[in-house]
Amino acid sequence: HTNPESYNNEEWYIDSGCSNHMNGHRDWFVNFDPKEKSTVKFADSRATQVKGSRNVLVKREDGRQIVITKVLYVPGMTTNLISLGQLLEKGCSVNSVKGFLEIYDKAKRLVMKAPLAKNRTFKVSLNTIESQCLSASMLSDDSWLWHLRLGHLNFRDLSLLKSKEMLTGLPSIKIPKKICDNCLINKQPRNSFSNFTASKASEILHVFYSDVCGPIDTPSLGGNRYFVSFVDDLSRKVWLYLIKAKSDEFRIFKDFKALVEKQSGKCIKILRTDGGGEFTSGEFEGFCKEHGIVHEVTAPYTPQHNGIAERRNRTILNMVRSMLRTAVYVLNRCPTKRLGSMVPEEAWLGSKPSVKHLRIFGSLCYRHVPDQRRKKLDDKSEAMIFVGYNSTGSYKLFNPKNQQVLFSRDVYFDESSSWA
Protein backbone atom coordinates (compact mmCIF):
# COMPACT_ATOMS: atom_id res chain seq x y z
CA HIS A 1 0.00 0.00 0.00
CA THR A 2 0.86 3.67 -0.29
CA ASN A 3 3.27 5.22 2.16
CA PRO A 4 2.70 8.96 1.67
CA GLU A 5 5.45 11.48 2.31
CA SER A 6 3.06 13.75 4.21
CA TYR A 7 -0.55 13.36 5.28
CA ASN A 8 -3.35 15.80 4.51
CA ASN A 9 -7.01 15.26 5.40
CA GLU A 10 -8.13 16.43 1.97
CA GLU A 11 -5.77 14.21 -0.03
CA TRP A 12 -6.81 10.86 -1.46
CA TYR A 13 -4.25 8.42 -2.86
CA ILE A 14 -5.14 6.37 -5.93
CA ASP A 15 -3.74 2.96 -5.04
CA SER A 16 -3.45 -0.03 -7.38
CA GLY A 17 -2.64 -2.32 -4.45
CA CYS A 18 -5.73 -1.87 -2.26
CA SER A 19 -8.88 -3.85 -2.89
CA ASN A 20 -11.35 -1.22 -1.62
CA HIS A 21 -11.76 2.51 -1.11
CA MET A 22 -10.96 3.24 2.57
CA ASN A 23 -10.72 6.07 5.08
CA GLY A 24 -10.82 6.63 8.83
CA HIS A 25 -13.30 9.50 9.12
CA ARG A 26 -16.68 8.33 10.39
CA ASP A 27 -18.21 11.80 9.96
CA TRP A 28 -17.46 11.86 6.23
CA PHE A 29 -19.93 9.10 5.39
CA VAL A 30 -23.43 9.62 4.01
CA ASN A 31 -26.11 7.19 5.27
CA PHE A 32 -23.43 5.24 7.13
CA ASP A 33 -24.01 1.48 7.42
CA PRO A 34 -22.29 -0.09 10.46
CA LYS A 35 -23.13 -3.65 9.36
CA GLU A 36 -20.03 -4.02 7.17
CA LYS A 37 -17.52 -6.03 9.23
CA SER A 38 -14.24 -7.41 7.91
CA THR A 39 -10.45 -7.23 8.27
CA VAL A 40 -7.97 -5.44 6.01
CA LYS A 41 -4.23 -6.07 5.85
CA PHE A 42 -1.64 -3.48 4.94
CA ALA A 43 1.70 -3.89 3.15
CA ASP A 44 3.58 -3.95 6.48
CA SER A 45 1.44 -6.98 7.56
CA ARG A 46 -0.64 -4.96 10.01
CA ALA A 47 -4.29 -5.97 10.18
CA THR A 48 -7.18 -3.75 11.29
CA GLN A 49 -10.94 -3.99 11.52
CA VAL A 50 -13.49 -2.53 9.13
CA LYS A 51 -16.35 -1.01 11.17
CA GLY A 52 -18.80 -0.02 8.45
CA SER A 53 -19.17 1.36 4.92
CA ARG A 54 -21.16 3.65 2.63
CA ASN A 55 -20.63 6.63 0.35
CA VAL A 56 -18.48 9.74 0.78
CA LEU A 57 -19.39 13.00 -0.95
CA VAL A 58 -16.42 15.13 -2.01
CA LYS A 59 -15.77 18.24 -4.08
CA ARG A 60 -12.92 18.59 -6.56
CA GLU A 61 -10.75 21.71 -6.75
CA ASP A 62 -12.89 22.94 -9.67
CA GLY A 63 -16.02 22.72 -7.48
CA ARG A 64 -17.56 19.64 -9.09
CA GLN A 65 -19.13 17.17 -6.65
CA ILE A 66 -18.27 13.46 -6.76
CA VAL A 67 -19.75 10.52 -4.87
CA ILE A 68 -17.19 7.86 -3.90
CA THR A 69 -19.29 4.74 -3.42
CA LYS A 70 -18.75 1.69 -1.22
CA VAL A 71 -16.00 3.19 0.95
CA LEU A 72 -14.86 1.10 3.91
CA TYR A 73 -14.59 2.80 7.32
CA VAL A 74 -11.35 1.81 9.04
CA PRO A 75 -11.05 3.53 12.46
CA GLY A 76 -7.63 5.04 13.11
CA MET A 77 -6.62 5.03 9.46
CA THR A 78 -4.69 8.21 8.62
CA THR A 79 -4.67 7.93 4.82
CA ASN A 80 -7.57 8.17 2.38
CA LEU A 81 -7.30 5.49 -0.30
CA ILE A 82 -9.08 5.14 -3.63
CA SER A 83 -8.87 1.62 -5.03
CA LEU A 84 -7.90 1.61 -8.69
CA GLY A 85 -9.28 -1.91 -9.00
CA GLN A 86 -12.64 -0.86 -7.58
CA LEU A 87 -12.84 2.02 -10.07
CA LEU A 88 -12.11 -0.33 -12.97
CA GLU A 89 -14.68 -2.80 -11.68
CA LYS A 90 -17.26 -0.02 -11.73
CA GLY A 91 -16.57 0.63 -15.40
CA CYS A 92 -14.14 3.52 -15.16
CA SER A 93 -11.16 3.78 -17.50
CA VAL A 94 -7.62 4.94 -16.71
CA ASN A 95 -5.16 6.92 -18.81
CA SER A 96 -1.60 7.99 -17.97
CA VAL A 97 -0.55 11.23 -19.68
CA LYS A 98 2.59 13.31 -19.03
CA GLY A 99 2.89 12.59 -15.33
CA PHE A 100 -0.85 12.56 -14.60
CA LEU A 101 -3.21 9.68 -13.93
CA GLU A 102 -6.63 10.42 -15.45
CA ILE A 103 -9.80 8.59 -14.37
CA TYR A 104 -12.83 8.61 -16.70
CA ASP A 105 -16.35 7.39 -15.95
CA LYS A 106 -18.49 5.16 -18.22
CA ALA A 107 -19.59 8.20 -20.22
CA LYS A 108 -15.92 9.07 -20.89
CA ARG A 109 -16.10 12.16 -18.66
CA LEU A 110 -13.00 13.09 -16.68
CA VAL A 111 -13.62 12.37 -13.00
CA MET A 112 -10.18 12.73 -11.43
CA LYS A 113 -6.74 13.87 -12.54
CA ALA A 114 -3.93 13.00 -10.13
CA PRO A 115 -0.32 14.23 -10.55
CA LEU A 116 2.63 11.93 -9.90
CA ALA A 117 4.18 12.87 -6.54
CA LYS A 118 7.88 12.80 -5.65
CA ASN A 119 7.50 9.40 -3.98
CA ARG A 120 5.89 8.00 -7.15
CA THR A 121 2.36 8.01 -5.81
CA PHE A 122 -0.74 9.58 -7.32
CA LYS A 123 -2.80 11.81 -5.06
CA VAL A 124 -5.75 14.09 -5.63
CA SER A 125 -7.21 16.83 -3.41
CA LEU A 126 -10.90 16.27 -2.65
CA ASN A 127 -12.78 18.34 -0.06
CA THR A 128 -15.47 16.51 1.86
CA ILE A 129 -18.98 18.00 1.90
CA GLU A 130 -21.12 17.86 5.00
CA SER A 131 -24.58 16.38 4.45
CA GLN A 132 -27.77 17.08 6.35
CA CYS A 133 -30.13 14.32 7.46
CA LEU A 134 -33.60 14.61 8.97
CA SER A 135 -33.38 15.99 12.51
CA ALA A 136 -35.29 18.24 14.88
CA SER A 137 -32.84 21.10 14.22
CA MET A 138 -33.35 20.66 10.50
CA LEU A 139 -37.12 21.05 10.86
CA SER A 140 -36.69 24.28 12.81
CA ASP A 141 -35.28 25.83 9.62
CA ASP A 142 -38.10 26.87 7.24
CA SER A 143 -35.98 26.22 4.14
CA TRP A 144 -35.24 22.61 5.11
CA LEU A 145 -38.80 22.05 6.33
CA TRP A 146 -40.29 23.09 2.97
CA HIS A 147 -37.63 21.16 1.07
CA LEU A 148 -39.02 18.06 2.80
CA ARG A 149 -42.70 19.02 2.53
CA LEU A 150 -42.32 19.54 -1.23
CA GLY A 151 -40.88 16.07 -1.74
CA HIS A 152 -37.17 17.08 -1.61
CA LEU A 153 -37.62 19.76 -4.27
CA ASN A 154 -34.23 21.30 -5.09
CA PHE A 155 -33.52 24.63 -3.39
CA ARG A 156 -33.16 26.51 -6.68
CA ASP A 157 -36.77 25.75 -7.64
CA LEU A 158 -37.88 26.25 -4.04
CA SER A 159 -36.43 29.79 -4.13
CA LEU A 160 -38.07 30.35 -7.52
CA LEU A 161 -41.49 29.45 -6.12
CA LYS A 162 -41.07 32.11 -3.45
CA SER A 163 -39.40 34.87 -5.50
CA LYS A 164 -42.05 34.72 -8.23
CA GLU A 165 -44.88 34.18 -5.70
CA MET A 166 -46.09 31.10 -7.53
CA LEU A 167 -47.67 29.67 -4.33
CA THR A 168 -49.36 31.09 -1.26
CA GLY A 169 -48.27 30.09 2.22
CA LEU A 170 -44.57 29.63 1.41
CA PRO A 171 -42.05 31.43 3.71
CA SER A 172 -38.73 33.02 2.67
CA ILE A 173 -36.20 30.46 1.44
CA LYS A 174 -32.43 30.48 2.02
CA ILE A 175 -30.23 28.07 0.07
CA PRO A 176 -28.17 26.10 2.64
CA LYS A 177 -24.51 25.17 2.29
CA LYS A 178 -25.15 21.57 3.36
CA ILE A 179 -26.72 18.99 1.08
CA CYS A 180 -29.54 16.57 1.84
CA ASP A 181 -28.23 13.01 2.16
CA ASN A 182 -31.54 11.52 0.97
CA CYS A 183 -31.34 13.59 -2.24
CA LEU A 184 -27.76 12.42 -2.73
CA ILE A 185 -28.68 8.74 -2.36
CA ASN A 186 -32.04 8.65 -4.17
CA LYS A 187 -31.73 11.18 -7.02
CA GLN A 188 -29.58 10.06 -9.90
CA PRO A 189 -28.31 12.44 -12.61
CA ARG A 190 -30.27 12.44 -15.87
CA ASN A 191 -28.92 12.79 -19.39
CA SER A 192 -30.59 15.65 -21.24
CA PHE A 193 -32.79 14.80 -24.21
CA SER A 194 -32.38 16.39 -27.62
CA ASN A 195 -34.60 19.30 -28.56
CA PHE A 196 -37.17 17.17 -30.37
CA THR A 197 -40.21 19.24 -31.32
CA ALA A 198 -43.65 17.70 -31.74
CA SER A 199 -47.22 18.90 -31.71
CA LYS A 200 -47.55 21.97 -29.48
CA ALA A 201 -50.71 22.60 -27.49
CA SER A 202 -52.69 25.80 -27.85
CA GLU A 203 -55.08 24.96 -24.99
CA ILE A 204 -55.49 22.39 -22.23
CA LEU A 205 -56.34 18.86 -23.43
CA HIS A 206 -54.99 19.65 -26.89
CA VAL A 207 -51.97 17.33 -26.45
CA PHE A 208 -51.47 14.64 -23.80
CA TYR A 209 -48.41 12.49 -23.12
CA SER A 210 -48.72 9.10 -21.46
CA ASP A 211 -46.25 6.49 -20.27
CA VAL A 212 -46.41 3.28 -18.22
CA CYS A 213 -43.71 2.69 -15.61
CA GLY A 214 -42.87 -0.65 -13.99
CA PRO A 215 -42.78 -3.32 -12.83
CA ILE A 216 -41.78 -1.97 -9.41
CA ASP A 217 -40.17 -4.64 -7.23
CA THR A 218 -42.29 -3.98 -4.15
CA PRO A 219 -46.05 -3.94 -4.88
CA SER A 220 -48.41 -1.45 -3.24
CA LEU A 221 -50.83 -2.50 -0.51
CA GLY A 222 -53.37 -3.15 -3.27
CA GLY A 223 -50.96 -5.37 -5.21
CA ASN A 224 -50.14 -2.79 -7.92
CA ARG A 225 -46.70 -2.96 -9.53
CA TYR A 226 -47.11 -0.40 -12.34
CA PHE A 227 -48.33 3.14 -12.72
CA VAL A 228 -49.51 5.05 -15.76
CA SER A 229 -49.17 8.83 -15.96
CA PHE A 230 -50.85 11.41 -18.17
CA VAL A 231 -49.29 14.86 -18.72
CA ASP A 232 -51.15 17.80 -20.26
CA ASP A 233 -48.75 19.56 -22.66
CA LEU A 234 -49.93 23.12 -22.04
CA SER A 235 -50.30 23.13 -18.25
CA ARG A 236 -47.85 20.27 -17.48
CA LYS A 237 -50.36 19.00 -14.91
CA VAL A 238 -49.90 15.31 -14.14
CA TRP A 239 -52.41 12.53 -13.34
CA LEU A 240 -51.26 9.16 -12.08
CA TYR A 241 -53.01 5.80 -11.70
CA LEU A 242 -51.70 2.65 -10.04
CA ILE A 243 -52.28 -0.55 -12.04
CA LYS A 244 -51.55 -4.24 -11.53
CA ALA A 245 -50.63 -4.97 -15.16
CA LYS A 246 -49.87 -3.01 -18.34
CA SER A 247 -53.04 -4.41 -19.86
CA ASP A 248 -55.06 -2.23 -17.42
CA GLU A 249 -53.89 0.93 -19.22
CA PHE A 250 -56.74 0.95 -21.77
CA ARG A 251 -59.41 0.78 -19.06
CA ILE A 252 -57.65 3.54 -17.11
CA PHE A 253 -57.39 5.76 -20.20
CA LYS A 254 -61.13 5.54 -20.83
CA ASP A 255 -61.85 6.54 -17.21
CA PHE A 256 -59.25 9.33 -17.37
CA LYS A 257 -60.63 10.69 -20.65
CA ALA A 258 -64.15 10.86 -19.23
CA LEU A 259 -62.91 12.64 -16.09
CA VAL A 260 -60.81 15.42 -17.65
CA GLU A 261 -63.20 16.10 -20.51
CA LYS A 262 -66.09 16.44 -18.06
CA GLN A 263 -64.05 18.75 -15.79
CA SER A 264 -62.74 20.99 -18.57
CA GLY A 265 -65.52 20.92 -21.14
CA LYS A 266 -62.86 20.19 -23.78
CA CYS A 267 -61.80 17.06 -25.69
CA ILE A 268 -58.45 15.32 -25.93
CA LYS A 269 -57.17 15.88 -29.47
CA ILE A 270 -53.71 14.26 -29.54
CA LEU A 271 -52.29 11.45 -27.39
CA ARG A 272 -48.56 10.80 -27.62
CA THR A 273 -47.21 7.46 -26.31
CA ASP A 274 -44.36 5.05 -26.93
CA GLY A 275 -44.77 1.89 -28.98
CA GLY A 276 -45.59 -0.36 -26.02
CA GLY A 277 -48.15 -3.11 -26.64
CA GLU A 278 -50.56 -1.60 -24.14
CA PHE A 279 -50.88 1.46 -26.42
CA THR A 280 -50.93 -0.22 -29.83
CA SER A 281 -53.65 -2.85 -29.54
CA GLY A 282 -56.41 -2.82 -32.12
CA GLU A 283 -58.96 -2.09 -29.40
CA PHE A 284 -57.01 0.95 -28.19
CA GLU A 285 -56.48 2.30 -31.71
CA GLY A 286 -60.17 1.76 -32.51
CA PHE A 287 -61.22 3.72 -29.42
CA CYS A 288 -58.97 6.65 -30.39
CA LYS A 289 -60.39 6.76 -33.93
CA GLU A 290 -63.96 6.54 -32.64
CA HIS A 291 -63.43 9.58 -30.42
CA GLY A 292 -61.41 11.63 -32.88
CA ILE A 293 -58.12 11.32 -30.97
CA VAL A 294 -54.92 11.40 -33.02
CA HIS A 295 -52.65 8.76 -31.51
CA GLU A 296 -49.00 9.67 -32.14
CA VAL A 297 -46.64 6.76 -31.47
CA THR A 298 -42.93 7.48 -31.01
CA ALA A 299 -40.40 5.88 -33.33
CA PRO A 300 -38.56 2.78 -32.03
CA TYR A 301 -35.51 3.46 -29.82
CA THR A 302 -36.30 7.17 -29.55
CA PRO A 303 -37.76 7.63 -26.04
CA GLN A 304 -36.95 11.35 -26.22
CA HIS A 305 -39.94 11.72 -28.58
CA ASN A 306 -42.17 10.97 -25.60
CA GLY A 307 -39.73 12.70 -23.27
CA ILE A 308 -42.24 14.81 -21.35
CA ALA A 309 -44.09 11.75 -19.98
CA GLU A 310 -40.90 9.77 -19.41
CA ARG A 311 -39.13 12.67 -17.64
CA ARG A 312 -42.19 13.23 -15.48
CA ASN A 313 -42.22 9.56 -14.48
CA ARG A 314 -38.52 9.71 -13.66
CA THR A 315 -39.06 12.85 -11.56
CA ILE A 316 -41.95 11.20 -9.73
CA LEU A 317 -39.79 8.17 -8.90
CA ASN A 318 -36.94 10.42 -7.78
CA MET A 319 -39.15 12.31 -5.35
CA VAL A 320 -39.72 8.99 -3.58
CA ARG A 321 -40.85 5.62 -4.89
CA SER A 322 -43.28 4.91 -2.08
CA MET A 323 -45.26 8.16 -2.38
CA LEU A 324 -46.36 8.09 -6.02
CA ARG A 325 -49.72 9.86 -5.79
CA THR A 326 -48.42 12.28 -3.17
CA ALA A 327 -45.41 12.97 -5.41
CA VAL A 328 -47.78 13.91 -8.23
CA TYR A 329 -49.80 16.13 -5.89
CA VAL A 330 -46.59 17.94 -4.87
CA LEU A 331 -45.20 17.97 -8.41
CA ASN A 332 -48.26 19.88 -9.65
CA ARG A 333 -47.22 22.63 -7.23
CA CYS A 334 -43.58 22.81 -8.40
CA PRO A 335 -42.14 25.02 -11.18
CA THR A 336 -41.55 23.84 -14.77
CA LYS A 337 -39.51 25.42 -17.57
CA ARG A 338 -42.56 25.55 -19.85
CA LEU A 339 -44.70 27.69 -17.52
CA GLY A 340 -42.11 30.11 -16.14
CA SER A 341 -43.88 32.02 -13.34
CA MET A 342 -46.73 29.58 -12.85
CA VAL A 343 -47.08 26.06 -11.45
CA PRO A 344 -49.15 23.37 -13.25
CA GLU A 345 -52.01 23.53 -10.74
CA GLU A 346 -52.56 27.25 -11.46
CA ALA A 347 -52.24 26.70 -15.21
CA TRP A 348 -54.97 24.07 -14.98
CA LEU A 349 -57.37 25.69 -12.51
CA GLY A 350 -56.64 29.37 -13.08
CA SER A 351 -55.96 30.19 -9.44
CA LYS A 352 -52.77 30.23 -7.35
CA PRO A 353 -52.61 27.15 -5.07
CA SER A 354 -51.79 27.32 -1.38
CA VAL A 355 -49.25 25.03 0.31
CA LYS A 356 -50.11 25.86 3.90
CA HIS A 357 -51.54 22.38 4.38
CA LEU A 358 -48.48 20.46 3.11
CA ARG A 359 -46.71 18.14 5.54
CA ILE A 360 -43.68 15.81 5.36
CA PHE A 361 -44.57 12.49 3.78
CA GLY A 362 -44.27 9.55 6.18
CA SER A 363 -44.27 11.66 9.34
CA LEU A 364 -46.00 10.57 12.52
CA CYS A 365 -49.41 12.10 13.15
CA TYR A 366 -52.36 11.72 15.49
CA ARG A 367 -55.92 11.47 14.21
CA HIS A 368 -58.68 12.73 16.45
CA VAL A 369 -61.27 10.04 17.12
CA PRO A 370 -64.81 11.55 17.14
CA ASP A 371 -66.77 11.20 20.38
CA GLN A 372 -69.45 9.08 18.74
CA ARG A 373 -66.85 6.53 17.61
CA ARG A 374 -65.17 5.86 20.95
CA LYS A 375 -66.09 4.58 24.34
CA LYS A 376 -65.81 6.63 27.50
CA LEU A 377 -62.29 5.46 28.44
CA ASP A 378 -60.90 5.16 24.88
CA ASP A 379 -58.07 7.41 23.70
CA LYS A 380 -59.18 10.60 21.99
CA SER A 381 -56.57 10.18 19.27
CA GLU A 382 -54.68 7.39 17.53
CA ALA A 383 -51.17 7.36 16.04
CA MET A 384 -51.02 7.13 12.24
CA ILE A 385 -48.59 7.69 9.35
CA PHE A 386 -49.22 10.55 6.92
CA VAL A 387 -49.22 9.16 3.34
CA GLY A 388 -51.04 11.72 1.19
CA TYR A 389 -53.74 14.25 0.41
CA ASN A 390 -57.37 14.04 -0.62
CA SER A 391 -59.21 16.32 -3.05
CA THR A 392 -61.74 17.12 -0.31
CA GLY A 393 -59.06 18.79 1.83
CA SER A 394 -58.50 15.91 4.23
CA TYR A 395 -55.27 14.01 4.87
CA LYS A 396 -54.69 10.39 3.86
CA LEU A 397 -53.47 8.34 6.83
CA PHE A 398 -52.22 4.80 7.28
CA ASN A 399 -52.53 2.72 10.45
CA PRO A 400 -49.73 0.10 10.55
CA LYS A 401 -51.48 -1.80 13.35
CA ASN A 402 -54.51 -2.83 11.32
CA GLN A 403 -53.21 -1.97 7.81
CA GLN A 404 -56.12 0.42 7.23
CA VAL A 405 -56.07 3.62 5.20
CA LEU A 406 -58.50 6.42 6.09
CA PHE A 407 -59.01 10.16 5.64
CA SER A 408 -59.30 12.85 8.29
CA ARG A 409 -59.22 16.63 8.57
CA ASP A 410 -58.61 16.72 12.31
CA VAL A 411 -54.95 15.68 12.52
CA TYR A 412 -51.99 16.74 14.68
CA PHE A 413 -48.58 16.30 13.02
CA ASP A 414 -45.22 15.51 14.58
CA GLU A 415 -43.03 16.06 11.49
CA SER A 416 -39.80 15.37 13.39
CA SER A 417 -40.88 11.79 14.18
CA SER A 418 -41.72 8.67 12.21
CA TRP A 419 -43.43 5.41 13.10
CA ALA A 420 -41.13 3.23 15.22
Domain-located, residue 56: yes
* CATH number where 291 lies: 3.30.420.10
Final residue in a domain of this structure, among 129, 159, 187? 129
The strand ranges marked E within 126-165 are: 127-128, 131-132
Are the C-beta atoms of residues 197 and 296 closer than 8 Å to each other?
A: no
Of 287, 266, 114, the residue nearest 203 (C-alpha):
266
Residues 303 and 404 in one domain: no
Residue 123: domain span? 11-129
So what's the pLDDT on residue 195? Answer: 43
Q: How far apart are the first and last CA of the chain?
A: 44
Domain-located, residue 145: no
So what's the pLDDT on residue 139? Answer: 63
Domain-located, residue 228: yes
Is 15 marked active-site? yes
Final residue in a domain of this structure, among 71, 106, 129? 129
Domain-located, residue 122: yes
Domain-located, residue 411: yes
Could you write out the DSSP letters of every residue in 202-254?
A: SSTTSEEEEEEE---SS--TT---EEEEEEETTT--EEEEEESSGGGHHHHHH
Specify which residues 243 forms β-bridges with.
226
So what's the pLDDT on residue 377? Answer: 54
Q: How far apart are CA 360 and CA 341, in angstroms?
A: 25
Give the strand pairing for 11-15 and 80-83.
parallel
Instruction: Report helix, strand or coil for 347.
Output: helix
Domain-located, residue 352: no
Final residue in a domain of this structure, among 284, 319, 354? 319
The strand ranges marked E within 17-62 are: 22-23, 29-33, 38-41, 47-50, 53-59
pLDDT in tens, the chain (420 residues): 444 333 345 789 998 888 899 999 888 887 788 888 888 887 777 888 999 998 887 877 776 777 888 899 999 888 899 999 999 998 889 998 888 999 988 878 888 888 988 888 898 888 776 555 545 555 668 888 898 889 888 888 999 999 999 999 999 998 877 767 667 655 544 334 344 444 567 899 999 999 888 888 878 878 899 989 999 999 999 999 999 999 999 999 999 999 999 999 999 999 999 877 778 889 999 999 999 999 998 754 444 445 677 777 776 665 544 466 788 889 999 999 888 899 999 999 899 999 999 999 888 999 988 766 666 555 678 899 998 898 888 999 988 888 788 899 999 998 887 776
* CATH number where 46 lies: 2.40.70
- Active-site annotation holder among 15, 232, 233, 274: 15
Distances (CA, A) of 10 to 18, 52, 78, 81, 121: 19, 21, 11, 11, 16
Of 106, 85, 79, 92, the residue nearest 19 (C-alpha):
85
Task: Provide the number of structural domains found in the chain.
Answer: 3
Q: What is the pTM (predicted TM-score) of this model? A: 0.51
